[in-house]
Structure 1
Amino acid sequence: MSDETDVLVLGGAGVDTIVYVPELPLPYADSYMIDSGIRTRAGQTGDFVALGLAALGLRTHHLDLLGDDPEGDLVRALHRERGIALTAIPQPAGTKRAVNLVGPDGRRLSLYDTSRAHADDRLPDPVLRSLAASSRHAHVAITHPCAHALPVLRESSVTLSTDLHDWDGEDPYHEPFAHAADIVFLSATALTDPERIMHRIAERGRAQVVVATAGAEGAQLLADGELTRVPAVAPPAPVVDSNGAGDAFAAAFLFGHLTGEPPRRCALYGAVAGAYACTVPSTETAAIGREELLDRAAESAAAMR
């Protein structure tokens, strides 16, 4: 079967309720008045990666479990409005939900409703095989259904990427994802020795590229056995929210990878897209477009010379 999709995104579909709070951590009080409002919108990690890829012109297909509920309707509407193909497997437990508390500096605290997912949830093998066979690449969220999907994906010819998010380098749940993927993203937030963990991922698994992001401190890139630092890129507007920055980084990096750019250039694309994402309020879903990404990357590369 010929490729019909550039990137198959597995998992990470859901809905977030955004609450802007006066500070984080939030001191105990009987109540807080939220003048900015409390808003619910579609968009969790898989949705944001799919959105970022599609905004950059890549043919994107998203596969996950969704409930027959108002939250699922929001997710379906987001994909329909942005022209992103979506295969939704029925989820009797309902669509995944989270509450994000966002501080004035853009940091967030996420509260995930784990009742909307179960360890025995599965993505049907026939659907998975068919979509993988028609895709150039698959980006895999670290959910239980995706963990079970890893062997099927590895049997196909599709290359894989994953985002381990704030893995501490020790939790064994993340290891199958880290070792199965050709490109691994993770946050350095919970890592005491990012370089050691990055090298360990590459040594024990299939990864040709490992990227550890560190927000305003930039990122570290391990490619071809060489570790290099990727400087952060100045945001094009005031920073209002860090939500989705890692997903934007991953999407732009994959755009570079699939268009034949070397890893360092891919990481620059990621830094540009991540900086852009920090200027988008949590209540909105927006991603940088291809022309703006390339222009800002060219400007940043020139400034670094």
Structure 2
Amino acid sequence: MSTDTDVLVLGGAGVDTIVYVPELPLPYADSYMIDSGIRTRAGQTGDFVALGLSALGLRTHHLDLLGDDPEGELVRALHREKGVALTAIPQPAGTKRAVNLVGPDGRRLSLYDTSRSHADDRLPEATVRALAESSRHVHVSITHPCAHALPVLHETGVPLSTDLHDWDGENPYHEPFALAADIVFLSAAALTDPERTMRRIVEHGRARLVVATAGAEGAYLLTDGDLTHVPAVPPPAPVVDSNGAGDAFAAAFLFGHLDGAPPRRCALYGAVAGAHACTVPSTETAAIGRDRLLERAAEMDH
């Protein structure tokens, strides 16, 4: 079957306001002077994955709800600038937004504006079906509209991936995504026993690959019943921000997967891209390119 798109990214479009703070947690004070400035830019998890895939040469299409507001225009402008196809479904409540407090060590605290979405938000089934059927792969963000799209996606038979982010292994909201995807990414940050959670995903769901990222400790890869550790890759420059590192990892892993690379090679690509992302300030969107990714991965082989 011919396809127009390598990866369809569902959901996760929005705008972040970035505030660099002197420390996290931030002690109470009447006011703080932010010398680095407070900046608002387009880019949430779906945007970062879509831009990361496109930077690696994959034909990428992004589908989500966007408001007719200044934040929505920032998202549209970012996709135009980066050459990523975007289908925007009208969102009367407005475009999703968040405030990210970023500490000196690159850690972040995100404040999400939940007023910009409603439980009855939906992506049109016909649009989801048409775009999925013309794609090799679909990456699904863990938003309410995407949860409702899972049955339609299954009917298409197109392989799925998702990122559960900092799931604790128990929150029932994440389970439909965890059990529906063929490839599952998640952070180990909130897991007391990452291996147990990873194996449970495989036992009860469709996943053939599960990857738990652990920041500077690398990542854990579960495939064919075997759990292996993937070392972290040294960042090519000083670490300034961890925002988007997990999205970069997922995009590069999918790049390798769709190119036919074995899982451990895919995880190496993810580690390289994640390390690169940590050197990019939150105020920018600069994904690693294909040539640089392959060059850094080759360096890791020696």
For the residues of structure 2 that align with 1:248 and 1:223, how far apart are their CA atoms?
A: 21
1:262-283 deviation per Cα after TM superposition (whole angstroms, max 9, x unaligned): 0000000000000000000000
1:157 CA displacement: 2.2
| 1:85 match | 85
1:301 CA displacement: 2.0
For the residues of structure 2 that align with 1:147 and 1:252, how far apart are their CA atoms?
A: 24
Aligned letter for 1:297?
A
For the residues of structure 1 that align with 2:128 and 2:288, how far apart are their CA atoms?
A: 29
1:2 CA displacement: 2.3
For the residues of structure 2 that align with 1:54 and 1:206, how far apart are their CA atoms?
A: 27
1:138 CA displacement: 0.2
Aligned letter for 2:244?
G
Aligned letter for 1:70?
P
- 1:73-222 to 2 correspondence within 5 Å? 73-222=73-222
Per the alignment, in what secondary structure is the counterpart of residue 148 of structure 1?
helix
1:204-239 deviation per Cα after TM superposition (whole angstroms, max 9, x unaligned): 000000000000000000011110000000000000
Aligned letter for 2:257?
H
What is the TM-score normalised by the length of structure 2? 1.00
1:23 CA displacement: 0.1
Asked if 1:10 corresponds to 2:15, the answer is: no
- 1:42-61 to 2 correspondence within 5 Å? 42-61=42-61
- 1:60-79 to 2 correspondence within 5 Å? 60-79=60-79
1:92-115 deviation per Cα after TM superposition (whole angstroms, max 9, x unaligned): 000000000000000000000000
Per the alignment, in what secondary structure is the counterpart of residue 64 of structure 2?
strand
Aligned letter for 1:194?
P
| 1:29 match | 29
Q: Which runs of 5+ in 2 are unaligned?
A: none
1:60 CA displacement: 0.1
Q: How many positions carry a matched residue from both structures?
A: 302
For the residues of structure 1 that align with 2:129 and 2:195, how far apart are their CA atoms?
A: 35
Per the alignment, in what secondary structure is the counterpart of residue 99 of structure 2?
strand
1:155 CA displacement: 0.5
For the residues of structure 1 that align with 2:245 and 2:155, how far apart are their CA atoms?
A: 31
Aligned letter for 1:220?
Y
| 1:268 match | 268
Per the alignment, in what secondary structure is the counterpart of residue 279 of structure 1?
coil
Aligned letter for 2:255?
F
For the residues of structure 2 that align with 1:53 and 1:218, how far apart are their CA atoms?
A: 21
Aligned letter for 1:108?
R
For the residues of structure 1 that align with 2:123 and 2:45, how far apart are their CA atoms?
A: 17
| 1:279 match | 279
For the residues of structure 1 that align with 2:79 and 2:163, how far apart are their CA atoms?
A: 21
| 2:248 match | 248
Per the alignment, in what secondary structure is the counterpart of residue 111 of structure 1?
strand
For the residues of structure 2 that align with 1:120 and 1:160, how far apart are their CA atoms?
A: 23
For the residues of structure 2 that align with 1:13 and 1:110, how far apart are their CA atoms?
A: 15
What is the TM-score normalised by the length of structure 1? 0.99
For the residues of structure 2 that align with 1:157 and 1:27, how far apart are their CA atoms?
A: 50
1:153-197 deviation per Cα after TM superposition (whole angstroms, max 9, x unaligned): 000021000000000000000000000000000000000000000
1:135-165 deviation per Cα after TM superposition (whole angstroms, max 9, x unaligned): 0000000000000000000000210000000
Q: Which runs of 5+ in 1 are unaligned?
A: none
Aligned-pair identity in percent equals 86
1:242 CA displacement: 0.1
| 2:298 match | 298
For the residues of structure 2 that align with 1:128 and 1:187, how far apart are their CA atoms?
A: 27
Per the alignment, in what secondary structure is the counterpart of residue 212 of structure 2?
strand
For the residues of structure 1 that align with 2:246 and 2:91, how far apart are their CA atoms?
A: 26
- 1:227-246 to 2 correspondence within 5 Å? 227-246=227-246
Aligned-pair Cα RMSD in Å: 0.5
